[in-house]
Chain A
């Protein structure tokens, strides 16, 4: 089995299964970041333990959060196993066998292969991984705040540290932290302003230099590589490496179907399972196609589905009401419990759907291009439009914040009013 070059004229995916499968797997290995060799996949089909460590490593690299992607190489096997298990659980992986695999990471290669395939099937995993480590040649500026937000929240899954006497803080400490945060935001904003001014200068001074006429000027990275040849060499190497991975990804897309046929056999070979007690419903893959005609079709499907559900609900309700008449008082407790359970399930469904819904539209990266006002944007986006959108978002958020603050203020004013012997004067403007 080698990485044979496919003749250009061959139709996609219709090569004989025997020849196309090794190529597909080889392409997959070339495009994955910590890609194991193709041998690993074959061994994993037969659940051989030699394949397990490489697959644990691969999955932990793939599943680790964006900011820590570089450090997974240094994790111990046990840490990798734990990371993979918790990440797969939170993504709603349906098969419980994965979570029962031993912590030392010595077994379970077939289950890991199934887990990897599940991830590949659900979403544009390859593209996401490539985008994560993309070489940024231009000066980029996000026009939405999503990336900032993702980092700034305390992760809910953190184990709460033990509560002891030392962890009680005074409210003044909280005030101090808030003040510190405000100060940091101010510094950040002013640094950004300086950065913008410098970028603008660099773009202006290098107008007309770029080999790509659409871009016109150099970016900081490009200018830097002219200043520092060693850095430039590194950048070139990274680019070439990324090109190899991109080509592998394209080849993978051409040959993918053969892989899925093979995975069917792998699935067949593994023993059937019973579901987890609290397993989440899984979701069909996200394919970010937004062609209007297909949306129309899907919409019609959903409408038909809704009608079906409506009829089913009517039937069920009628039959249930007939049944419930004969029930005693303890029934209401049962009802409540059922309602809660079902409510939770539906909420989980909805939440996961929402979360994936927002993730399904990855924001396109933006490369800053200095250009004359009034020129046609072509494929691009004018900053003025982005500014307009941000302004309306700003207004919206400000309104919500004001309202919330108003709510608190009303309540506190009431409480303060009840204090004996004290006059309460709110600060100016409120």
Chain B
């Protein structure tokens, strides 16, 4: 058993690490859910591409008779596509059952549809009732090249077969398959199975959002640039801080009130500030030591400051080599393949993990080595455990053999 303070520290450190990991995992799981949902079939809320037909919200309209033939063609194409998709999915096995997000071949989610069709629509919607997404007139959104029209009965047959085979799966079967009267007059209803894979390139961001987003980017860029040329304000701030410091009276030799931020002071107007800062605040305290002790302390302080300033200079050198501007607005991080992205993510995590391991190693060495040194006689089991912790991060154990001397 480890002593109390040692135990507390080790457990605290490990628990903090575990909690951080757990929190990251939780957030990542949430992102994963969102991503997976996006890659399945869903319905975009806007027309997928700018079209010549007017009206951004065509959902409520009845299709004009003039459009009917092309709508029909496109709808039939959609039906065929969906049916084929479903066939592929069913063949692979229904794995994601029960979520209700997976688009059934006909997604009659159209709520505000022309009344004539409502009767045939709802029964075919397993699990769709919960979806509140608005529908879209998908045929309008897709300006596909003309496709030869197919005979309707064939489609219905296909869909029927499709639905039957689906029904054999875990999904609730719709008993009245004959109900699905997808007649041409009802074509506007038929929602498509939209997947990013096929039609992602047709999406467009809404105007209002795009305006706000570009305004946002513009403002952040302005914030960056005003920071870069901010010397007048910087002078005012520095003066205020010094005044505040001066209002707190300096005592004798014990404390020094300037610091290593000198490198941050920009601009010619700051030179006087630097001098002043050091001159007034600092030297006043070291000029008049009253006795031997204070004399010594002065000396030590000055030597220490000398070392600090040397370090500052060194740091400054490094900084000038780097030359990166601090900025608040995001910069693009360009990648060209999934592999690259994965490598980047893996490496970053590995570096974080290594850093954590390093920290834990130091903590363990701090706590465990003294114990092992001082415990006499040293128990072999404890030694073995400590060795595994310290030398392998707990992954491997040394082997310990009892070697009784032969009598």
Report A-chain residues with C-beta under 8 Å of the C-beta of B262.
284, 298, 301-302, 305
B55: interface (CB < 8 Å): no
B223 at the interface (CB under 8 A from A): yes
Asked whether B404 is an interface residue with its Cβ less than 8 Å from the other chain, the reply is: yes
- The stretch among A51-59, A69-77, A82-90, A373-381 that forms the contact with chain B is A373-381
Given contacts A141-B333, A154-B16, A312-B302, contact A415 B254 (CB under 8 A): no
Some 26 contacts from A to B, beta carbons below 8 A apart, are A95-B247, A121-B241, A142-B348, A143-B348, A153-B359, A171-B2, A174-B10, A177-B11, A185-B349, A188-B24, A191-B32, A272-B247, A283-B260, A290-B325, A298-B262, A301-B275, A309-B305, A313-B303, A316-B302, A324-B296, A361-B326, A372-B336, A383-B334, A390-B351, A408-B390, A419-B377
- Asked whether any CB of chain B lies closer than 8 Å to the CB of A48, the reply is no
Is the Cβ of B258 less than 8 Å from the Cβ of A281? yes
Tell me which of B36-44, B116-124, B146-154 binds A.
Answer: B36-44
The answer, yes or no, to whether A243 is at the interface (CB within 8 Å) is yes
A232 and B206 in contact, given A169-B11, A193-B345 (Cβ under 8 angstroms): yes
Decide: A424 and B400 in contact? CB cutoff 8 A.
yes
Given contacts A202-B196, A227-B45, A272-B249, 18 further A-B pairs with CB under 8 A are: A122-B237, A148-B349, A174-B2, A193-B342, A193-B346, A196-B338, A226-B206, A229-B134, A275-B248, A288-B264, A292-B320, A302-B312, A338-B300, A360-B326, A364-B329, A367-B330, A378-B332, A387-B344
Residues of B with C-beta under 8 A to A6? none
* With contact pairs A202-B35, A316-B299, A345-B256 given, residues A377 and B21 touching in the complex (Cβ less than 8 Å): no
Q: A303 and B230 in contact (CB under 8 A), knowing A195-B35, A360-B264, A369-B334? A: no
Residues of B within 8 A of A373 (CB): 336-337
Q: Which residues of B contact A372 (CB under 8 A)?
A: 336
- Contact call B39/A198, Cβ cutoff below 8 A: yes
Measured CA separation A38–B8 after assembly (Å) = 48
Instruction: Indicate if the CB atoms of B46 and A364 lie closer than 8 Å.
Output: no
Any A CB within 8 A of the CB of B15: yes
Name the residue in B1, B350, B360, B373 with the highest tally of chain A Cβ atoms < 10 Å from its Cβ: B350
B222 at interface, CB cutoff 8 A: yes
Give the secondary structure class of B's interface: helix
Q: Are A290 and B378 in contact, with the CB atoms below 8 A?
A: no
Quote the shortest CB–CB distance from A229 to chain B (angstroms). 4
A357 contacts B by Cβ under 8 Å: yes
**Closest residue on chain A to residue B212 by CB atoms:** A239
Among listed B64-72, B80-88, B90-98, B266-274, interface-contacting one: B266-274
Contact A94 B230 (CB under 8 A): no
Q: Is the CB of A404 within 8 A of B365?
A: yes
Binds B, one of A15-23, A39-47, A100-108, A255-263: A255-263
Q: Contacts of B350 on A, CB cut-off 8 Å?
A: 189, 390, 394
- Bound Cα distance from A283 to B257, whole angstroms: 8
User: Top 5 nearest A-B pairs by Cβ distance?
Assistant: A380-B332, A205-B200, A288-B326, A353-B260, A427-B396
Q: Which of B302-359 contact A (CB under 8 A)?
A: 302-306, 308-313, 315-317, 319-320, 322-338, 340-359
Q: Which residues of A contact B389 (CB under 8 A)?
A: 171, 174-175, 178
**B286 / chain A contacts, CB cutoff of 8 Å:** 312
**Closest A residue by C-beta to B375:** A415
Once A227-B133, A285-B238, A302-B262 are accepted as A-B contacts, the answer to whether A416 and B383 lie under 8 Å apart by CB is yes
Number of interface residues of A (CB under 8 A): 217
**What CA separation (Å) do A243 and B190 show in the bound complex?**
40
- Closest CB in chain A relative to B329 CB, distance in Å: 8
Does the CB pair B332–A377 fall under 8 Å?
yes
Residue of B nearest to A384 (CB): B340
Which residue of the partner chain B has the closest CB to A263? B240
Kindly state the separation between the CA atoms of A397 and B359 in the bound complex, as whole angstroms: 11
Q: Are B390 and A409 in contact (CB under 8 A)?
A: yes
Given A121-B240, A193-B346, A239-B209: A381 touches B2 (CB 8 Å cut-off): no
The answer on a CB contact under 8 Å between A383 and B340 is: yes
- Bound-state CA distance A294–B333 (Å) is 29
CA distance A218 to B230 in the complex (A): 35
8 Å CB contact of A13 from B232, B344, B358: B232
User: Which residues of the other chain, B, contact A335 by a CB distance below 8 angstroms?
Assistant: 296
A242 to chain B, nearest CB (A): 6
Q: Given A149-B356, A288-B227, A378-B332, is A267 in contact with B247 using a C-beta cutoff of 8 Å?
A: yes
Q: Mark B205-221, 1 if CB is under 8 A from A, else 0.
A: 11011101111100110
When A174-B11, A267-B243, A316-B302 are in contact, do A250 and B222 touch as well, CB less than 8 Å? yes
Point out the residues of chain A lying under 8 angstroms from B330, CB to CB: 138, 140, 364-367
- B201 near A387 (CB under 8 angstroms)? no
A305-B278 contact in complex given A246-B216, A281-B259, A368-B335, C-beta closer than 8 Å: yes
A260 touches B216 (CB 8 A): no
Residues of A contacting B401 in the complex (Cβ-Cβ under 8 angstroms): 422-423, 425
Considering only residues 166-206 of chain B, those with a C-beta below 8 Å from chain A are 196-197, 200-206
Contact A377 B334 (CB under 8 A): yes
Given A189-B346, A284-B258, A309-B309, does the pair A421, B213 have CB atoms closer than 8 Å? no
Taking CB atoms and an 8 Å cut-off, the chain A residues in 136-186 that contact chain B are 137-138, 140-145, 148-149, 151-155, 158, 160-161, 163-165, 167-175, 177-182, 184-185
A401 to B, closest residue via Cβ: B358
Is B239's CB within 8 Å of the partner chain A? Answer: yes
**Distance between B375 CB and nearest chain A CB, rounded to angstroms:** 10
- Identify the closest chain A residue to B361 (Cβ): A404
Shortest distance from the beta carbon of A377 to any chain B beta carbon, whole Å: 6
Which single member of A94, A195, A419 contacts B32 (CB below 8 Å)? A195
CB–CB A171/B326 < 8 A: no
Known: A131-B328, A209-B201. A243 touches B336 (CB 8 A): no
Query: In this assembly, does B125 line the interface, its C-beta being within 8 Å of a C-beta of chain A?
Result: no
- In the complex, whether A8 has a CB less than 8 A from a CB of chain B is no
**Cα-based distance from A362 to B224 in the complex (angstroms):** 12
